[in-house]
Amino acid sequence: MTAILLPFTGGRVTLKQGGGGRAMRALIERLFVRDFATMPFDGVGVDAMDDGAAIRIGDDWLVITTDSHVIHPIVFPGGDIGRLSISGTVNDLAMMGATRVLGLTCSIILEEGFSLDSLEAIQRSMIATCREANAPVVTGDTKVMGRGEIDGLVINTCGIGLTRTLVRDNGLHTGDRIIVTGNIAEHGLAVMAARHGIEFEGDLVSDVAPMNGMIDSILSDAALADAVTAMKDPTRGGVASALHEMASKSNVGIVLQERSLPMTDAVRSVGELLGIDPLHVANEGKALLGVRADAVDQILARLHEHPLGRNATVIGTCGEERRGAIILDTGFGRRLLAEPEGEPLPRIC
Ligand code: MG
């Protein structure tokens, strides 16, 4: 940790600093948040380092989020960069409570020589995902760079949505339960397998999907919405990174039940084979919800009705012990879960 806080002079950016963990957070805090946050702003701004920003408009919140997508390979089991770019932005809006998307932007930077057929396939995938999420792309931009100046293509998307129910990632309280909406680590491990041409027994498919419909089924019910205290999507850095962020911002400790973590046998065995803890691996169609204990059953029942939430389950409880930390209960004992420096796999989203 100390090393990344040293002066930047003479230093160089490392891949780790894009990995969604402590190293990335330190870079962002140091380089952007500290100074950008000095400008007057009424709402949830850059210093909140939440899934997006929120600006008050009358009784509503205008939520804004932006993401750049650099995944390699651009096509992987279960999706491609097009589906990912739409889902990622729609999901960040949904995590703030903005489940109804007003509009998306799409900015594409292409490498000279990129196949037009591939580009068309990516565009079709984006449109299909937009329809699924009921989220229109309303403006965009295209740039082309020379051969070798960029690797294939990069897609940046920005999204805006309105909500009356703003949900933050810092609202957890003692006694709240943590729900994960389904099996973990599928995106990261599926991309890893595709990248290295590794074939595994059993299905290993990315979970990439827009979750706004599923989240809306909770938030559109006032009684359920009221019981949701925090939300975050565990993308880069996985469940471990997202929970650390939620716990430290909320000033609670989270006891995580290892044996409750939903994952497929394929994920379990690939994780073991590669020596990668599934808790550290990116998801692109899963949400972590902090929920008041008295509403857990109702919220789980509602999630189970949605195709993306069939395996939703409670994985942890918030308490006063070890505030800001995650205590992993293995069933045999307890240990502190280390906060990842960053996603173990670069260019995962
Ligand atoms: Mg997010």
Residue type, 82: G
Tell me which range, 9-23, 138-152, 268-282, is most confidently predicted by mean pLDDT: 138-152
Q: Which of 208, 204, 207 is nearest to 190 (CA)?
A: 204
Confidence of residue 198 (pLDDT cuts 50, 70, 90): confident
Looking at residue 298, its amino acid is Q
Which residues have CB less than 5 Å away from ligand 1 (the ion)?
51, 92, 233
| Res. 33: pLDDT tops 80 | yes
CA–centroid distance, 50 to ligand 1, in Å, is 7
Q: Ligand 1 mean position to 2 CA, how many Å?
A: 26
Q: Is 297 helix (H, G, I), strand (E, B) or coil?
A: helix
At 30 the pLDDT is 86
Per the CB < 8 A criterion, the answer to whether 348 and 187 are in contact is yes
Residue 245 has pLDDT above 50, yes or no: yes
Q: What is the pLDDT of residues 199-232, one digit of tens each?
A: 776 689 999 999 999 999 999 999 999 999 999 9
Contact 233, 242 (CB under 8 A): yes
Distance of alpha carbon 238 from alpha carbon 241, whole angstroms: 6
Kindly indicate the confidence band of residue 3, based on its pLDDT and cuts at 50, 70 and 90: very low
Q: How many A from CA of 95 to the centre of ligand 1?
A: 7
CA of 177 to the centre of ligand 1 (A): 20
146 Cα–ligand 1 center, Å: 32
Domains of the chain: 15-37+46-163 (3.30.1330.10), 177-336 (3.90.650.10)
Q: What is the pLDDT of residues 135-188, one digit of tens each?
A: 999 999 999 999 999 999 999 999 999 999 999 999 999 999 999 999 999 999
Going by C-alpha positions, the residue among 245, 227, 228 that lies closest to residue 236 is 245
* Chain segment 59-84, per-residue pLDDT in tens: 999 999 999 999 999 999 999 999 99
Mean pLDDT of 247-275: 94
